């Protein structure tokens, strides 16, 4: 098996408990994510990594594959490593359970980058920001990258900062939390200590950059909204079929 997709689905989300089962136009959120991910032609296997019987049963009821993991995992990455540890796989795709508008081309894009360039260890997705209110929103993570599409920095602040108000043509990009890793790097990453910038920004991907590894960014044209709050859920319900 070359590529496995894992959807870590924790029930007890701090800001919005049970959000992975929240109804979106007649289906639980986790089902929307599953169905979009299943459309990727490059995934050999797709698994929901869950810690709650309600999530497990829901996934089984709509025909998905779910595996129980330990409840005490501090992050989705740790939950994923429990699943993939015994698997003979080259690439692991971390698919967020709270991104019901994910497009299968996003999954294909990050996988293709790792398959095409064996020097890469991780790739993720970005999108040009279209809504002005997202530029200053700390819940929307911004990213800047170099000419070769490697991330320079991720921040909850507005980056780049415009020193001169008359600057024209600047584009802002937001990070979409979908990652593809080589299996070897996933375990390397898991064993790295939390970094200073990661703690300050509360962004796990900064641990990768601070330890000298590169993150390839892949741009998508498809809009997506993550669900962190009940208000986010309303916006997704209004936009998911658009």
Higher pLDDT among residues 18 and 6, named by residue: 6
What is the predicted pLDDT for the residue at 212? 97
Tokens of 113: 């980058």
Instruction: Report pLDDT for 206.
Output: 96
Q: 46 lies in a domain?
A: yes
pLDDT tens-digit readout, 159-172: 998 887 666 778 99
Peptide bond just before 52 cis, omega within 30 deg: no
DSSP-assigned states of every residue in 192-228: SPPPHHHHHHT-THHHHHHTT---EEEE--S-----S
C-alpha dihedral sign at 174, 229, 66, 27: negative
Angle at 55 between CA 52 and CA 59, to 5 degrees: 140
**Residue 10 counted as domain residue:** yes
Mean pLDDT, all residues of the chain: 92
Q: What average pLDDT does this structure show over 132-156? A: 95
Let me know if residue 97 belongs to a domain: yes
Residue 135 inside a domain? The answer is no
Instruction: Quote the CA–CA distance of 119 and 97 in Å, as a whole number.
Output: 28
Range of the domain at 43: 3-125+176-239
Q: Does 18 fall in a domain? A: yes
Q: Does residue 157 sit within a domain?
A: no
Residue 62 lies in a domain: yes
Q: What is the pLDDT of residues 169-207, one digit of tens each?
A: 789 999 999 999 999 999 999 899 999 999 999 999 999
Split into its structural domains, the chain has a count of 1
- The whole-model pTM stands at 0.93
More confident residue, 230 or 7: 7
Note whether 88 and 38 are within 8 A (CB): no
Task: Give the pLDDT score at 210.
Answer: 97
Residue of higher predicted confidence among 41 and 230: 41
pLDDT at 14: 66
What is the per-residue pLDDT for 36?
Answer: 96
Is residue 239 over pLDDT 70? yes
- Strands 151-155 and 142-145, by their bridges, are antiparallel
Determine the average pLDDT of the residues in 57-70: 93
Here the CATH number for the domain that contains residue 42 is: 3.90.550.10
Local confidence band at 241 (pLDDT 50, 70, 90 cut-offs): confident
* Comparison of pLDDT for 113 and 163, the residue scoring more: 113
């Amino acid at each position: 098996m070359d590529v496995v997709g894992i959807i870590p689905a924790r029930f007890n989300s701090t800001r919005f408990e049970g959000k992975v089962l929240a109804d979106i136009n007649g289906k639980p959120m986790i089902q929307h994510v599953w169905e979009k991910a299943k459309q990727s032609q490059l995934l050999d296997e797709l698994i929901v990594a869950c810690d709650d019987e309600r999530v497990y049963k829901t996934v089984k009821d709509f025909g998905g594959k779910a595996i129980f993991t330990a409840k005490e995992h501090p992050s989705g990455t740790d939950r994923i490593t429990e699943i993939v540890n015994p698997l003979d796989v080259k690439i692991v795709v971390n698919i967020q359970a709270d991104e019901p508008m994910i497009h299968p081309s996003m999954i294909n894009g990050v996988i293709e980058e790792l398959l095409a360039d064996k020097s890469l260890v991780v790739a993720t997705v970005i999108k040009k920001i279209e809504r002005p209110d997202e530029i200053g929103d700390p819940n929307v993570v911004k990213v800047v990258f170099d000419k070769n599409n490697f991330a320079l920095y991720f921040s909850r602040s507005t980056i780049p900062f415009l020193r001169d108000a008359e600057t024209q043509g600047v584009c802002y990009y937001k990070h979409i939390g979908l990652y593809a890793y080589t299996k070897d790097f996933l375990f390397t990453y898991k064993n790295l200590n939390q970094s200073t910038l990661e703690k300050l920004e509360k962004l796990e991907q900064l641990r990768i950059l601070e330890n000298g590894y590169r993150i390839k960014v892949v741009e998508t044209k498809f809009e997506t909204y993550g669900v962190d709050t009940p208000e986010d859920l309303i916006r997704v319900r209004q936009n998911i079929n658009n």
